[in-house]
Structure 1
Amino acid sequence: MAAANAVYNVTTVQEPKAGKWLIVPSEYLDKCRFGIKVAAVLFSLLAFILAATVYLCSSCPALYFFQFASCAAFLFTGLLVFFLATPFHRRVGISDWPMLDFSYTVAIGFLIFLASAAFASEHRWTLEVQMSVAFGFIACVLFLVDAVIFVKIKGWPCHSKPRAPPEQSETPEAEKLTVHSEE
């Protein structure tokens, strides 16, 4: 029994302390990207609030599209940051967090760019519109920077990682168990 415990003590990973709910840096989110994501959430929220204060719209569909995109960016990016920066990502049935994170970041960045461009081109330039569009474009740039940093640090998540053939899958832990069980 002691030999088996020695093998498992070396190979098992300790669970983080139960009292620690914010884990930055974590396996999916480092401090730099955490800061960028939080800034993108805040700029998206500011863009949405300012767009909501626009009373006269010359092209209401562009305004509504911008409000939708900035609100979606705020809510869903906030939710993504919550999952990536807390232990709750382990309880959700998602197995490929890096692919989800990268895909979402690129998609929402593109969506908020389209919405900001449409809102800027189709609306009267009041102070609220100018600030809202500026915050929308800043959020777009932050999403783009986050995606670029992700690729620089972790590489493209779309590439499948080569898997070891089944015959070579015996791990050192399995070898240690085999050696200890023979004794």
Structure 2
Amino acid sequence: MATADAVYSPTTVSENKSKKWFIVPTDNLDKFRCVIKVVQVLLSFVAFILEEVVTTCMSCSPLYFFEFVSCTAFLFTALLLVLLATNLHKRVGINYWPAVDFVYTALMAAFFLIASIVFVSDNGGTDLENAAVAFGFLATMAFLVDAGWFVKTRGFPFKRTNQQAASNGEAPVAEAEKLNREQNEAD
């Protein structure tokens, strides 16, 4: 078996496996987007906590909607950050994470904006409610910056590429040389 090792050793490259499980940058997460995702998590968490501390509400529907959006943004953004930074999507064979990340980020920006506008228009005017709304708008800005940076650096994920060869409508030219043996030996 020593000869087999000699044969394979010059051409075989050993794969160095890192002991780290949270690595930035990755294929889908650069350092700037990682910082933005952490900011999104923190702002969403603070907005959620401030909203939870509100003890009384005149009309509770806007408060509950804001609570749902801020909690969802906090939990799912933290999960997405971990998935992107650990490259877990590669281990399970999912190749469409950039599109999922972009859609999620854009939707969270829209929902946070709507929830913040609704909550600011119908609340009791307490300092806690105003602070929660302020953090909601800051989180909205973080999600918008993330979506904008994604489009700037990676392009729009659903953009169709026209990679088909241009055809002028003519039939393709037949090959000049046949590939079968009998034809080549006869020539």
Query: Which TM bucket (shorter chain)?
Result: 0.7 to 0.9
Alignment CA distance shift 1:96-1:164 (3 Å): farther
Does residue 103 of structure 2 align to residue 111 of structure 1? no
**TM (normalized to structure 1)?**
0.80
- Residue equivalent to 1:63: 63
Identical aligned residues as a percent: 45
Higher RCO (C-alpha under 8 Å, 6+ residues apart)? 1
Q: 1:1-12 maps to which residues of 2 (within 5 A)?
A: 2=7, 6=11
CA separation in 2, counterparts of 1:114 and 1:36?
Answer: 21
Larger Cα Rg: Structure 1 or Structure 2? 2
| 1:125 Cα deviation from its structure 2 partner | 1.1
Residues 75-125 of structure 1, C-alpha deviation per residue, up to 9 Å, x if partnerless?
000000000001322233422111001000000111111111100001011
CA distance in structure 1 between the partners assigned to 2:16 and 2:118 by the alignment: 48
The Cα of 1:159 is off from its aligned counterpart by: 1.4
Amino acid at match of 2:141: V
1:13-162 mapped onto 2 (5 Å cutoff): 14=15, 16-17=17-18, 19-161=19-161
How many angstroms apart in 2 are the aligned matches of 1:30 and 1:40?
15
Taking structure 1 as reference, are residues 125 and 26 closer, same or farther at Cα in structure 2, changes over 3 Å only? same
Helix, strand or coil at the partner of 1:23 = coil
Aligned position for 1:178: none
In 2, the alpha carbon distance for the partners of 1:92 and 1:139 equals 30
Which blocks of at least 5 consecutive residues in structure 2 are unaligned?
166-187
Letter in 2 for 1:61: S
Alignment TM-score, normalising by the size of structure 2: 0.78
**Over 6 Å off, 4+ runs:** none
- SS of 2:32's partner is helix
Task: Give the SS at the match of 1:28.
Answer: coil
Check 1:93–1:64 CA distance in 2 against 1; reply closer, same or farther (3 A cut).
Answer: farther
The CA deviation at 1:16 is: 4.2
Q: Which has the higher helix share?
A: 1
Matched residues, number: 160
Please, which runs of 5 or more residues in structure 1 have no aligned partner? Answer: 166-183
Paired with 1:15 and 1:157, the residues of 2 have a C-alpha distance of 31
CA distance in 1, matches of 2:114, 2:156: 24
More off after superposition, 88-97 vs 111-120: 88-97
